[in-house]
Structure 1
Amino acid sequence: MRNIFVLFTLFAFLSCGQAIKNNLTVEEKEFLSKVRYIITKDEKKNFLSLSPLERKNFIEEFWKRRDPVPETEENEFKEEYFKRIEEANKLFGKDGWLQDRGMVYILLGPPTERYTYPMGRYHGDFPTEIWYYGFFPIVFVDYYWSGTYQLTPLSAYQIAQINISQATMGPEFKVSKIEIDFEVDYHKNTLQIKIPYKLIALQKKDSNFFTTISCLIKVKDERGMIVFQKKGDTLLEFNLDEIKNIKSPFHFLNFEIPLEKGKYEIEIELKNLTNNSSKKKFEKIEIK
């Protein structure tokens, strides 16, 4: 009986949501469709719960909140957004704005450089496009030779920037804005440092991307005495094929640090030499 009730409740909820969407006017449905890349989840939920009059006011306020210069009659953000939709359709065909290339073009603007490989970059490769925004590549691949290019995960940094750009629509990447951060775990005599790729600023040379991570590790016992210390640099280097095939959102640094039973404080400091961003953390552990 409980399962039937839950199922009925879920069905009623979904039906209600569908009914709300079906009650939208053509103009309101068009609005939701066009702003799919920049409307937040909460904004959409709020919009669907409003009365017709309130929805009209919502649409006006939606664009006002994004107007970078509210003192002028023009809404530069709105004008640029719809201009990019039109340009995406011209560049990538009918409804090109709904494809991955169109989405990125709308959110980030024209790339500083664009390279197309309609037959792939080498024998056996898929059709590929590589867009550059500053130092960072965004790669699209047509896996089915259909003319529809899909966005690849890359180093996840680009994906993070796309999410950020939903609010800013900034066309440029600035390395100085990327601040390194990391997580720490100690298990079975191994210290693991987990760094999100999206927070690793890279330099570009030819078709390779690289940086150097400087790492300082200090381990102190309960008396405050240093029982382990290590300092060194790690070179991270990727070519385009490696970037295309990155699966994990993290890069891992592992250090073997055998410790006896007791309580310790581990101090870790990382510094990215590409943009000199640094982060220091303290981790307390107990070996039993």
Structure 2
Amino acid sequence: MKRIVLAITLVLALSIPSNLYAYSESFKGELKLVKRLTPKEQIYYFGLQYLLNKYQKRQYLSISDKREREEWIERFWAENDPTPTTPINERKMEHEKRVRLARRLFGMKKPPGWDKRGETLIRFGLPTARVRTWADISFYGMKPPGEIWYYKKLNMIIPFQNFNLKGEYIYAITPYGRSSRRELDRLQNVTDLLKNGVLQEVYPTEYMNFDEIKDLVDFNPEQIDYIADRDLKAETPTDMIARIEDEKKREAMNNFYKYMKEKPTIYSFELKHESMPLYFDVTSFRGGEAVLRTEINFEVPTKDIRFVERNGKLSGRVKLSALVRDIDMKPVASGTDEIEVTFDGKDVSKGPSLLPGKITLSLKPGYYRLGLEAQDENSDRFASYKTNIQLRPIEGDPYISDILFASSIKESESGEKFQKGNLNVVPHPIHAYRKGNPLSFYFEIYNLKTDEKGMSFYKVKYRINPITKRRKGPVLEEVPTTVSSSFETSGYGPTQFHHLSIATDNLWKGIFELVVTVTDRISFKTFEKRTRFSIVE
């Protein structure tokens, strides 16, 4: 009997990973670097670790100066702000609240300061339901006490075990191996079946080793007594409802591993708002001495906006916000805009499919971090994006501004929202045009040489090169430049404004490159600008 108890103890001990009793390093030497931090920094780092990859951890821990480490943390939170245009960082606030709660509810003296329940709380927040499970000792083994956490919005179940019975909960594990009592019973079953010739009639045991025979005897996936004959087994009813519920439970438990791999931290604001598609691009033009007029152009799909009826009309409104930071994540500029649209009828599909907006900022050339937000004022639909942009200085004789794709360009009087000189240029940042609709775009030319009368003379050439090959039956054929044209013109002054509209009848579904070239006919210098657009059916 002592041998059996000793074997059970040994099997259970071997099934516990050693890192459950110590802080697990994500890279070699991590703990050594952590010890260099101040006690306050260590506490903060252990909570922050679930948001960092191993490269970020190494980068932070390798900073020797305390003030530089503080600045690194500030930049990290600024880069991970879910609402980058507001002063409140919801992710930071909720994360720090979760860490305090994990330490208070599931605190431990050893690193990181809490058990696996605390880690789960920091990663996913408090569960929808939390159930305690009691210990169970059966003839073949022991099940330690534990807890089961359920997250309704994530459809996720996480089981925990108080394995060492000291209050330190770990993720529930499946013990490896079997108890000695179970192994002795398996050996006895094999001996009896071989003695009575049962196995020999069904399986060629002469080609199987003894371990394979034991596994065969122990194989019982449906928990049905193998002494029963096949007819009796076939007549055994199956509880379909119980099986469906069991599949749901297994899926919910598997979701835990899915989230740990794909999205190891989730915050409440991510579950609160429904995402909304938002298309944008950034174009820059000369705005003054060493300053660029930077335009952030938006388009929101009409079908993704909620319209409400007011005074017999359908009305929709989307608020747009932009915040620009420098490379040190310090705010340098911000702006807002509102997209408002009203339909007389009941069917919004008869109107435009995309609604445009624009925010104009004055920025110096350089590298920036751009944060954008769009909020549907009539619903919880929300969009948030962060990207890096580089604004190049206007250097070159001549020089071409960014190319602004447009959904329409019309002459108009001043005062229009998208006014450029005597033109109303409605931005089209999605850069996608239906075949047959004209490709419209706007650009400006700077630093042209002028004669003694102040006149500039230049040549504009454009060409369209296919990026996507054209399909001809089952074959993709190479196609050279599809559209190409040029013209010579003149104007007063070194700066000129141009807009073009090109037919797309000869194009096909795919991606194309637009190349615009300007040649100064006085200096004979040339400048070229490239960008891309797509044709859809």
Q: TM-score range by the shorter chain?
A: 0.3 to 0.5
- TM-score, with structure 2 as normaliser: 0.26
Q: Which has the higher strand share?
A: 2
Structure number with greater Rg is 2
TM-score (norm. length: structure 1): 0.46
